[in-house]
């Protein structure tokens, strides 16, 4: 892990503009602000070019001899293929509306982390290499040639973007800077320059079906372990089906929910919900092969995103299900909502999702045939299908983090809040300009949640931490809910560093806590095996009642002993008197 300054030091950010123009500022790779390079074995698995051992910290990145030609040809192809990319290269007027909207710029003060300038790193190459004005006038027209230093500059800052799209929300021309970052990373891939925390998970997904490299039997074992934990807490043992052909619904969730706390507790919530609904007609199966909802391919290239996403439809077809429910994941839902139908569809072998419990038809999923678990649960709650005890979440004072991809990527604002407010009593939103479509990023998305990047991660987390600190101070908030597996991991680190009195939780962990299962034993613990607050209160009441009972019992025993002594004395008096009379007579 890279060294990170104490929070009070990191919070002192200098936003003073540099004296030199940005083109004259040499690239400087600072510790804690760049990620380890991708490994050759992963290149070979996923077909990335130029497999070799390298590091961004080295002077020589071991690029091919004709690296400039490869890069520029790749850029030319994408300018022709993606009309939006050419448009984004041409129409920016550098108004700066996006400048202070990026969490990395807010937290670092580095001008090249202003979205306009980060995109300008690539846009300047476009002008210098592809436009007449740029070729002739060079820097005067905002153009520059592709040199080794320019390439390193591009790599350094393209991997200081989480593709959260907050900047795009404020752009008067609608430029999607995340799309510019995605194209830029594709061009870096052509030369074999990716990072380990992206290439590694993508390669794992090729090998085992999920980012963490979990084998099918290990996935199965973890699900069984969760069921045993649920039995210990509730007395009820769920029996989920895996890889079952002919089921109505296929459930796919991010692998982080299976192997990474606190996501594991969210997975337990899924299992409890599905067990509860089986008696109402739910017919659902999990898959140990399509065992990943997330899509790190979206941080790599459009083609890689397509290849990883295709396993969902392939497994749905193999199992013969009718439609798909997806778990709590961020980039999974941007890919599914924005790209899936045209990228790997049409899914004409599936049906439009229809709840077997309420009869609700989810018209919004008419094309890609997949709905979010929060949509499904919100519909159940609205129709009164769940028996819930909200007091089981009373130990939490909650707020909600709108994960960037579901929020800005698919307008998913109200359903998670509806579920949250119907399974818990204490909820407080963060300030309005930090939530919903204006939400701040966790600071570690798009493959950047790695330890060597910790300095920049914590800087990028500062805006979200500020909003969290506000509701913590004002409302004593101690738990932040979210619907993204990466967020559950990265926000935990954010809280430990910036707001240590707050923890992170998934929406369906809260559902699992509140859900009353038929035949369950008296619940004394939540899914984290933490006792409910009232359990301790009941024990204290029992302890307070105990002394009174002891005193009463002692008093009763004393009274009995006194009565017995008195009876004995009464019985002994006639005998004593008779003996005295007899002795007197003899005398």
Hunting for tokens 């560093």 — which residue is that?
Answer: 497
Bigger pLDDT: 470 vs 344 = 470
Output the pLDDT for position 584.
57
- Residue 568 pLDDT greater than 60, yes or no: no
User: Which secondary structure element, helix H or strand E, spans residue 398, and what is its range?
Assistant: strand 398-400
What ranges do the domains of the chain cover? 7-31+49-193, 200-514
Identify the pLDDT of residue 496: 97
| pLDDT of 437 above 70 | yes
SS3 breakdown of the chain: % helix, strand, coil, rounded to 5?
55, 5, 35
Distances (CA, A) of 240 to 74, 250, 265, 275, 353: 47, 12, 16, 7, 21
pLDDT of 345:
79
**Of 379 and 547, which is predicted with more confidence?**
379
Residue 54 pLDDT class (50, 70, 90 cuts): very high
**Residues paired with residue 525 on neighbouring β-strands, in sequence order:** 531
Pick the closest to residue 465 from 483, 429, 426, 491 (CA basis): 491
- Quote the mean pLDDT of the chain: 91
Segment 273-287 shows an average pLDDT of 97
Residue with tokens 């931490």, as numbered in its chain:
465
For 202, residues 6+ apart whose C-beta sits below 8 A from its C-beta are: 42, 46, 211, 296, 297, 300, 304, 308
In angstroms, the CA 427 to CA 417 distance is 9
Maximum C-alpha span of the chain:
152
Q: Check residues 457 and 573 and name the one with the higher pLDDT.
A: 457
Once rounded to an integer, what is the mean pLDDT over residues 60-84? 96
In the chain, the N- to C-terminal Cα span, in Å, equals: 109
Average pLDDT over residues 373-392: 97
Give the number of other CB atoms < 10 A from CB of residue 260: 17
Q: Which residue bears the tokens 């846009």? A: 123
Among the ranges given (131-140, 157-166, 490-499, 529-538), the one the predictor scored with the smallest mean pLDDT: 529-538
Say how far apart CA 414 and CA 416 lie, in whole Å: 6
Q: What is the pLDDT of residues 141-192, one digit of tens each?
A: 999 999 999 999 999 999 999 999 999 999 999 999 999 999 999 999 999 9
pLDDT at 185: 96
Confidence of residue 237 (pLDDT cuts 50, 70, 90): very high
Query: Of 293, 107, 230, 98, which is closest to residue 176 (Cα–Cα)?
Result: 98
List, for residues 310-322, the tens digit of each pLDDT value: 999 999 999 999 9
Distance CA 577, CA 584 (A): 11
Average pLDDT over residues 407-418: 92
Cα–Cα distance for residue pair 163/363, rounded to 1 Å: 28
Give yes or no for a contact between 527 and 509, defined as CB atoms under 8 angstroms apart. Answer: yes
State the virtual CA torsion across 232, 238, 244, 248 in degrees, nearest 10. Answer: -140
* Average pLDDT of span 384-406: 96
pLDDT above 90: residue 555: no
d(CA 136, CA 120): 18
pLDDT recorded at residue 382? 98
d(CA 362, CA 274): 19
Please tell me the predicted confidence (pLDDT) of residue 541: 63
Location of structure tokens 């309420």: 358
User: Is there a contact between 223 and 286 (Cβ–Cβ < 8 Å)?
Assistant: yes
**According to the model, what pLDDT value does residue 341 have?**
83
Over range 67-88, report the average pLDDT. Answer: 96
Do residues 371 and 499 touch, judged by C-beta distance below 8 A? no
Q: Are 177 and 115 in contact (CB under 8 A)?
A: yes
* pLDDT > 70? residue 369: yes
Concatenate the DSSP letters of all residues of 90-143 into one string: HH-----TTGGG-HHHHHH--GGGSHHHHHHHHHHHHHHHH-HHHHHHGGGGT-
**What is the percent of the chain where pLDDT is above 90?**
80
Sheet holding 323-326, edge to edge: 284-286, 249-252, 323-326, 370-372
Report the half-sphere exposure of 233 (CA within 13 A, side-chain side): 26
**Is residue 326 helix, strand or coil?**
strand
Residue 179 and residue 92: Cα distance in Å, rounded? 14
User: What single DSSP character describes residue 431?
Assistant: P
Three-class secondary structure of residue 296 per DSSP: helix
**Is residue 575 over pLDDT 50?**
no
Cβ neighbours of residue 552 under 8 Å, at least 6 residues apart? none
Give dist(CA 551, CA 569) in Å, integer: 27
- Quickly state the pLDDT bin for 210 (edges 50, 70, 90): very high
Q: Which two tokens stand for residue 305?
A: 């995103």
The two beta strands, 323-326 and 370-372, are parallel
Distance CA 587, CA 581 (A): 10
The CA distance from 181 to 271, in Å, is 37
Three-class secondary structure of residue 422 per DSSP: helix
**pLDDT greater than 80 at residue 512:** yes
pLDDT-derived band at 569, boundaries 50, 70, 90: low
Three-class SS of residue 565? Answer: helix
- Tokens 């990620």, located at residue: 35
Please compute Rg for the chain using Cα positions: 32
pLDDT at 542 over 80: no
Of residues 243 and 409, more confidence is placed in: 243
């Amino acid at each position: 892990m890279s060294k990170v300054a104490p929070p009070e030091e990191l919070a002192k950010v200098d936003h003073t503009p540099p004296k030199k123009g940005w083109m004259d500022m040499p690239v400087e790779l600072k510790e804690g602000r760049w990620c380890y390079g991708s490994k050759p074995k992963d290149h070979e698995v996923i077909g990335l070019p130029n497999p070799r051992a390298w590091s961004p910290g080295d002077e020589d990145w071991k690029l091919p001899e004709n690296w400039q030609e490869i890069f520029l040809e790749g850029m030319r192809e994408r300018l022709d293929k993606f009309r939006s990319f050419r448009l984004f290269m041409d129409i920016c007027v550098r108004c700066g509306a996006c400048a202070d909207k990026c969490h990395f710029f807010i937290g670092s003060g580095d001008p090249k982390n202003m979205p306009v300038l980060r995109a300008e790193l690539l846009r300047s190459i476009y002008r210098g290499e592809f436009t007449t004005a740029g070729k002739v006038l060079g820097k005067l027209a905002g153009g520059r040639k592709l040199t080794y230093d320019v390439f390193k500059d591009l790599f350094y800052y393209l991997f200081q973007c989480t593709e959260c799209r907050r900047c795009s929300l404020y752009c008067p021309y609608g430029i999607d800077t995340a799309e510019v970052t995605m194209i830029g990373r594709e061009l870096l891939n052509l030369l074999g320059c990716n990072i380990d925390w992206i290439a590694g998970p993508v390669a794992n997904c090729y090998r085992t079906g999920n980012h963490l490299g979990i084998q099918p039997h290990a996935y199965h074992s973890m699900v069984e372990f969760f069921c045993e934990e649920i039995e210990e807490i509730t007395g009820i043992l769920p029996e989920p089906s895996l890889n079952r052909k002919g089921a109505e619904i296929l459930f796919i969730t991010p692998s982080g929910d299976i192997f990474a706390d606190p996501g594991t507790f969210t997975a337990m919530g899924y299992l409890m919900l599905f067990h509860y609904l089986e008696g109402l007609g739910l017919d659902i199966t999990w898959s140990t092969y399509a065992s990943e909802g997330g899509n790190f391919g979206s941080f790599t290239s459009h083609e890689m995103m397509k290849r990883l996403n295709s396993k969902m439809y392939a497994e749905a077809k193999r199992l013969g299900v009718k439609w798909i429910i997806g778990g709590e994941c961020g980039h999974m839902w941007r890919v599914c909502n924005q790209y899936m139908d045209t990228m790997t569809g049409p899914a004409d072998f599936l049906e439009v999702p229809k709840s077997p419990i309420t009869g609700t038809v989810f018209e919004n999923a008419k094309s890609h045939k997949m709905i979010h678990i929060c949509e499904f649960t919100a519909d159940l709650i609205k129709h009164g299908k769940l028996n819930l005890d909200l007091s089981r979440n009373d130990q939490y004072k909650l707020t909600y983090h709108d994960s960037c991809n579901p929020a800005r990527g698919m307008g998913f604002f109200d359903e998670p809040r509806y579920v949250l407010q119907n399974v818990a009593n204490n909820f407080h939103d963060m300030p309005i300009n930090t939530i919903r479509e204006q939400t701040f990023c966790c600071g570690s998305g798009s493959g950047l949640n790695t330890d060597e990047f910790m300095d920049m991660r914590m800087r990028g987390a500062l805006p979200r931490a500020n909003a969290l600190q506000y509701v913590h101070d004002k409302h004593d908030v101690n738990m932040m809910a979210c619907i993204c597996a990466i967020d559950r991991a990265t926000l935990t680190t954010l809280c430990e560093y910036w707001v240590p009195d707050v923890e992170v939780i998934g929406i369906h962990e809260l559902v699992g806590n509140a859900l009353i299962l038929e035949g369950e034993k008296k619940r004394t613990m939540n899914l984290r095996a933490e006792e409910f607050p009232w359990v301790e209160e009941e024990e204290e009441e029992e302890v307070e009642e105990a002394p009174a009972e002891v005193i009463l019992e002692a008093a009763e025993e004393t009274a009995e002993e006194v009565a017995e002594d008195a009876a004995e004395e009464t019985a002994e008096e006639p005998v004593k008197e008779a003996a005295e009379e007899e002795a007197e007579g003899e005398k």
